[in-house]
Amino acid sequence: MYPAAIKDATNTTNEAGGKAYLNSPEWQLAKLLTTGMLSNTYYVSATNTNVELFELADKVSDDFLAKALVYGRQTGYMRANPIQLLVKLQSGTLYSSEQYFLRLYSTSMICLIS
C-alpha cells in the first residue's frame, strides 16, 4: 500500500511501543501546547509530559515559544501548559511576561490563578 521508503522511515517509537515518526521540536511543542494534558493518561505520566514540555521549550527559539504559547491558549484553549512555559519565557531577555500574559489569559482566568 505504501512505498517501502515511507514505510521504513519511522525513526522512533511512541509511548505505546509502536513505530512512529519523530517530528521537529517546534511541531512537538505545538502539539503538546494544544493537546497535552498535565495529568496521567493511558500511556504517559504527568511528570513525563512536564519534562518533555520544558525540554522542547529549550530546543526552540524564544520567538517561536512566545507565538506557540499564544496559539496554545487561544486556539487550543489550553491553560496550564502555556502558563508554565510563560515563566520560562520571562526569564529570557527578549520578552517580558506582561507582554504575553494578557494575550494568554482573560481577566476571568487571571482571577482563577491569583
Please give the full DSSP string across 56-78, using - where no structure is assigned: HHHHS-HHHHHHHHHHHHHTT--
The cell 505520566 sits on which residue? Answer: 45
- Flag the least confident range among 22-26, 28-32, 96-100: 96-100
49-77 residue pLDDT tens? 888 898 999 999 888 888 888 888 888 77
Angle, alpha carbons 104-52-91 (nearest 5°) = 50
Whether the predicted pLDDT of 80 surpasses 60: yes
